Structure 1
Amino acid sequence: MPPLRTLLAVPVSLALLALTPTASSAPSDPPTDAILPLLVTRGDAPAAALLAREETGTRYADAGKGIARADHFRAGSITKTFIATVVLQLAAEHRLKLSDTVEQHLPGLVRGAGNDGRTMTLRALLTHTSGLNDFTVDTKGVVPLSPLQAVRIALTHPPAGPGRYYYSNTNYVLLGLVIKQVTGRTYATEAERRIVAPLGLTGTAFPGSRTSLPSPHGRAYAADGTDVTELDPRVAGAAGELVTTLADLDRFYAALLGGRLLPSRWLREMRDTQATHGLYGMGLFPVKLPCGTTVWGHNGRIAGSYVRTAATVDGRRVLTFRVNTTDIADPDLEPALLAAEFCPRTS
């Protein structure tokens, strides 16, 4: 899903002032934990949970019923950070260049309706500046597809302004195909051997076509209350297939931003937002909070799950929160939660 840039415009201070005292918002509680129940009462989620990772340890909180700390859940577009990391590792190994065209790796695939892989670079895919149409606009994110089918759907539409930022899941489906072409292994296999196994992310997997979640897990609900726990991950593929846990996402982003997965040059490339005028890097996007702190991370939305991870630029502080439904109904709550976690508290 695209980064919520409109979050920067909401009155975070008003959202914080609007909190009413409850048992979970006692003065001794961190303000983040006090906001969490509002994701249930104002955000209309059946349940919500967060896990904050700091140098002094971790902190867990939940609200509502149906979520546990160790639960597996679908992470949606947070998958893109994993895919971008693999691509940048391959670049660091000189197995591809970001200036390579899509045509060089996937000859003849991207043609049609004005789209041309001969003029489209891997950098453009990573930064969502290729102009490729988002196939999920057509499928509503509920139709399982092969990668080639997803690309072909996108290619029935003309490009949406090449060179300009336009968030499209098709970009990362193509990057998944590029990884396979370069390495001879699927993006899932490469991510597992390069990221998941080295970091010990025991709750993280790329399920392919498996519709069930690993145990333990709770239920997942669509906005209308329909149970969508069973879901074919091929509705998203390399753009949103990942299944994971709160602890694993905190560990992954801490390792990534802490320099454990990429050489410093390539981590800087990942955080470079010049091509998108500050909106998006490569599988990461920044959000500047009202106190001046900038946090980096990604969000993910897929049927029955909304997830957000944000971290300081050095990865020393990380917050992941999730709800077990597709959306947060109140758009003020996410920026308020991030500000409460990462902005200094005043007495």
Structure 2
Amino acid sequence: MPMLRAPLVTLVVLLLCGLGTGPLPSESHLTPAASYLPRLAVQGGAPDAALLAHDVSSAPRDTYRSTGPGIRYADRFRAGSITKTFVAVVVLQLAGEGRLRLSDPVERFLPGLVRGHGNDGRRITLRALLSHTSGLYDYADDTSAHPLTATAALRTATAHRPTAAPGTYAYSNTDYAVLGLVVRGVTGHGYATEIRRRVIGPLHLAGTSLPGSRTTLPAPHGRAYTRDPSDGRLTDVTALDPRTAGAAGELISTLADLNRFYAALLGGRLLRPAQLSALLDTSASHGLYGLGVFPERLSCGVTVWGHNGRISGSYVRTAATRDGRHTLTYRIDTDTLDEADTLEPALLEAEFCPS
């Protein structure tokens, strides 16, 4: 399956262990995926790349590898659309608590807000938002707009006709901007507060944060670069305003935190069985996307679950087995990866389908 689109790059020009404590996972035990990593720099054109694999499914191991000094094990980085999985967990927890139903229309929580130009919140359910089957136009596609709030992002989206009919899969950052507003409407708190209380705190994700309007990255961190498509020149975009990304992509995290998060999620520590089943239900999108995660079936018959994230200066991908016992997160310090459609699947094959 081709890499899912997780834009927010042009609009915002604008991933089991404690950080900084104890020895790093082994770099000397080079798994096939770790040995493959340098190709992301050589063929993919990334300044630096790094991965962290955690596997307790057979012989327990942790493997960390970096292609250069630009990325270190404990570095914080912008995780882009991986934010969506965190938001989905909050919404599904609220469903498990009976505070909302996935079949509820958006109109119940945001009356009159999703209207105009063929958009109708009475016909769009929370499940449709979670699965990207709402049809709402992706506000990140309007390069003339730089909305700094979710309501402004929604106004940008509803100024356009729907991209697709409700029920048709079409990835849209607008869906999760709306879900962020729904979380506030249900709980009285912003999605960031609920993510901290329900996910970051309980899992002790010490390197994960939602920056709000803060333009800097917490220490330790490296640099982040975007590449000019016309001449290939790299521009430092380490500092940026993440408010345009919001609930669709503002998260900051680490390799270890993202592995821990997806291991806990797929291992059943964050959601009740009914909600975990809903998370993995891809029927609405005909197998392309669940509710905040997506599957990728590999050549050896293994299906991995996770998400990718792209934002100016950063690309990250986490994939995990269905039981969460084998996870891999890799990242590069730029938002563009040449030959991504072949390099990323090959890296996942190397990790999860060893010969």
Q: TM-score scaled to structure 2, two decimals?
A: 0.89
Unaligned runs of 5+ residues in structure 1 are 7-26
Unaligned runs of 5+ residues in structure 2 are 6-27, 229-233
Aligned counterpart, 1:155? 158
* 1:153 counterpart SS class: helix
Deviation of 1:144 after TM superposition, in Å, equals 5.0
CA deviation vs aligned residue, 1:163-194 (integer Å, no higher than 9, x gap): 10000000000000000000000000000000
Tell me which amino acid in the other structure corresponds to 1:335.
P
How large is the Cα RMSD of the aligned pairs? 1.7
Q: Is the 8 A contact 1:176 1:186 kept in 2?
A: yes
Q: 1:119 to 1:57 in 2, by over 3 A?
A: same
C-alpha distance in 2, partners of 1:164/1:107? 23
Q: Is the 8 A contact 2:180 2:247 kept in 1?
A: yes
Deviation of 1:344 after TM superposition, in Å, equals 3.3
Deviation of 1:223 after TM superposition, in Å, equals 1.7
2:297 to 288, 297, 303: 288
C-alpha distance in 1, partners of 2:52/2:305? 16
- Indicate the percent of aligned positions where both proteins have the same amino acid: 62
Q: Is the 8 A contact 1:95 1:182 kept in 2?
A: yes
* 1:226 counterpart SS class: strand
Aligned counterpart, 2:223? 219
Aligned counterpart, 1:32? 33
Q: TM-score scaled to structure 1, two decimals?
A: 0.91
Aligned counterpart, 1:4? 3
Q: Is the 8 A contact 2:29 2:63 kept in 1?
A: no
Aligned counterpart, 1:143? 146
C-alpha distance in 1, partners of 2:351/2:204? 26
* 2:208 counterpart SS class: coil
Aligned counterpart, 1:274? 283
Tell me which amino acid in the other structure corresponds to 2:183.
I
C-alpha distance in 2, partners of 1:275/1:52? 31
Q: More displaced, 61-70 or 101-110?
A: 61-70
1:342 to 318, 327, 352: 352
Deviation of 1:58 after TM superposition, in Å, equals 1.4
Deviation of 1:64 after TM superposition, in Å, equals 2.8
CA deviation vs aligned residue, 1:227-251 (integer Å, no higher than 9, x gap): 0000111121000000000000000
C-alpha distance in 2, partners of 1:57/1:30? 10
Number of equivalences:
324
C-alpha distance in 2, partners of 1:28/1:104? 53
CA deviation vs aligned residue, 1:200-228 (integer Å, no higher than 9, x gap): 00000000010000000000000220100
Deviation of 1:328 after TM superposition, in Å, equals 1.2
**Runs of 4+ that moved beyond 6 A:** none
Aligned counterpart, 1:189? 193
Q: 1:144 to 1:227 in 2, by over 3 A?
A: farther
Aligned counterpart, 1:243? 252
Deviation of 1:311 after TM superposition, in Å, equals 0.1
Deviation of 1:5 after TM superposition, in Å, equals 5.8
Q: Is the 8 A contact 2:135 2:170 kept in 1?
A: yes
